[in-house]
Chain A
Amino acid sequence: MDYVPALARWIHFMAGVMWIGLLYYFNFVQVPALKAATADGTAAGITKHVAPRALLYFRWAAVVTWLAGAALLGDQFVNAFLLRGGMAGIGVGAWLGTIMLFNVWVLIWPNQQKILGLKPATDEEKNKARRVAFLASRTNTALSIPLLFFMAGGWSHRALFGL
């Protein structure tokens, strides 16, 4: 069954690129662009046509990335999450990815639904939702930095850990 880890790794990378790519798009491009677009009255183009599509691929890519990562860990899944059996490096990556998946589905997506008018919300609720979604997204951007370090921790990282 060598096909499973090979396919899981491939899918994990593709979905991961989409997830983190869209995360960086939101933080590096869309947030500053929305600020400028709101100032000249053109924000609707982004909030109506771009953001919902980007969020669709973003949140489902997060799920696929996590599931493919779990499949890739295989029988080492528990060892990774318990940081034992030589799996501490990838285990930290797995924990970070899991926290980020939680942020996407529990903090970012429900609040984005209020912000984009996909779910009814008062102006006060929208303002609160904006802040929570923004901070969760920024938290994920910060967490993606150690995440990628530990996810990439193959043979090239062994020397860094004194192995």
Chain B
Amino acid sequence: MKNPLDSLWGTIISGLVLTVILYFVVKSIVGIPG
């Protein structure tokens, strides 16, 4: 499989996917009293 980081579009899409994943991680943490 080709490394997505070899292309600029692959890099940008990887960053966007990671943003969505981390968003849900943070959203679940924010709901827990600190």
Contacts and interface: CB of A to CB of B under 8 A. Distances in A.
Contacts of A161: 26-27, 30
A28 B8 contact: yes
Interface of B: 3, 5-6, 8, 11-12, 14-16, 18-19, 22-23, 25-27, 29-31, 34
Nearest to A146: B19
Majority secondary structure of chain A interface residues (helix, strand, loop or mixed): helix
Contact of A27 (B11, B18, B30, B34): B11
The contact size tier of chain A is 20 to 34
Interface in A20-54: 27-28
B34 A141 contact: no
Contacts of A142: 5, 11-12, 14-15, 18
A86 B14 CA distance: 27
Contacts of A1: none
A153 B23 CA distance: 11
Given A86-B34, A150-B26, 19 more contacts: A27-B8, A27-B11, A28-B8, A88-B29, A88-B30, A89-B26, A92-B25, A138-B6, A141-B12, A141-B15, A142-B14, A143-B15, A144-B15, A145-B15, A145-B16, A145-B18, A146-B15, A160-B27, A161-B26
Contacts of A146: 15, 18-19, 22-23
Nearest to B6: A138
